[in-house]
Amino acid sequence: DVFQYICQSLDTITQTAILVLIGQRRTGKTSILQQLPAHLDAARYLPVFIDGNGLGIDPGMDNFFLSLMEDITLGLERAGFDLARVDPQVLGDSPQRYFDHRFLREVRALIGDRTLLLTIDEFEELGARVQSGALPESVFSYVRHLIQHGEQLAFIFAGTHRIEEMIGDYWSVLFNSSIYRRIGFLEDAAVRRLVTEPVQGEGVQYDDLAVQEIVRLTAGHPYFTQLLCHVLVNRCNDDERNYVTIQSVREALDELLQLGRTHLTYVWNTSGEVTRLCMAALAELRARMDQVTAAAIANRLGEYGVDLSQGQVHRAMATLVARDLVVEEQGMPTSYSLTAQLYAHWLRRYRRLSRVVEESEQRVDGLAI
């Protein structure tokens, strides 16, 4: 469905707009960009993948343009086009002018009538480079100039932050004429396909309860779904069996949490103090309550001497909902649960509420969510 949406949007983004793919880490944004060549009309579009982490590592606009040209040259090589590497000495006093009037002209001559589709991953790193002083704010105005006036050019950006959370007015210069597509968790039917189709030729079979348990544990998170299947298939190979049951899935949970600890720790480390406390309290309460409200979380934290208002809890929950870590359950009052049960297992095992409170050395009042 994402590739279909991109294909339908191409006519729009070739007319001075850009498509922005927004989603949390490990939801498949990079894979989508890298697989675009297999889904687009090769006679009309030539996608080139650019890692935003590599732009601006070496400070200065000279190095920005050099990195951009090197990425485009490598992308063209992968697509079967031979373009000479740019010698840094030829950039002269105006690398922008060289890029605009010589490099892009050579690219257009090489690709014919095709549109060069630049797919830039981790686009928010441009903002980080500006904040660190490695790049000037004018880089955004220049990219906007390319979007509006570049011949046979189109752009797709992918990143983890919502645009309204970006820091600095320069983002509005770039994204005020964009269309957005959220990349989130897989629907249940897509999870079933991801679980069963890759192993059909190998004779491995999942019973229905096993698939349901995978959905319950991962909530369709692409990375954790694949990781869990990796564990299960390896165990089948080790045990010389060709079936997966619900018990097999439950027995694989410990290994899943170990293999996924880097991402889980990243999620934890990028959360604020109040949000961590609320996550830990939610995981603890959901083990014994069907409905957990903001009041219940505030009361539980109060028992540990943490004074949080229901308003603070609601704000923390809103942050977690935006990050796909928590889901709101409609009702009066609103209650909350963790999107994937593996989050609850990890929190109760490695981030118990009592431990989180003990490690919190600062006062909660006024801390950022």
What end-to-end distance do the CA atoms of the chain give, in Å? 34
What's residue 367's pLDDT?
53
Residue 128 confidence (pLDDT): 84
pLDDT value at residue 319: 93
Output the pLDDT for position 148: 84
At residue 363, the pLDDT reads: 44
Q: Which of 21, 23, 22, 26 shows the shortest CA–CA distance to 265?
A: 26
pLDDT for 209: 97
Sequence-distant (6+) residues with CB within 8 A of 332 are none
pLDDT of residue 320: 95
Going by the DSSP 8-state scheme, the letter that residue 68 receives in this structure is H
Report residue 19 as tokens. Answer: 């498509």
What pTM, to 2 d.p., does this model score?
A: 0.83
Best CA proximity match to 327, nearest among 364, 291, 273, 303: 291
- Identify the pLDDT of residue 11: 84
pLDDT at site 359:
85
Q: Which residues contact 76 (CB under 8 A, 6 or more apart)?
A: 46, 48, 82, 83, 107, 110, 111
Structure tokens at 20: 């922005």
pLDDT, position 350: 95
pLDDT, mean of each 10-residue run, the chain (369 residues): 90 82 90 94 94 87 91 94 88 86 94 95 87 88 85 90 58 72 92 92 90 96 96 93 95 96 94 95 94 96 93 95 92 92 96 91 50
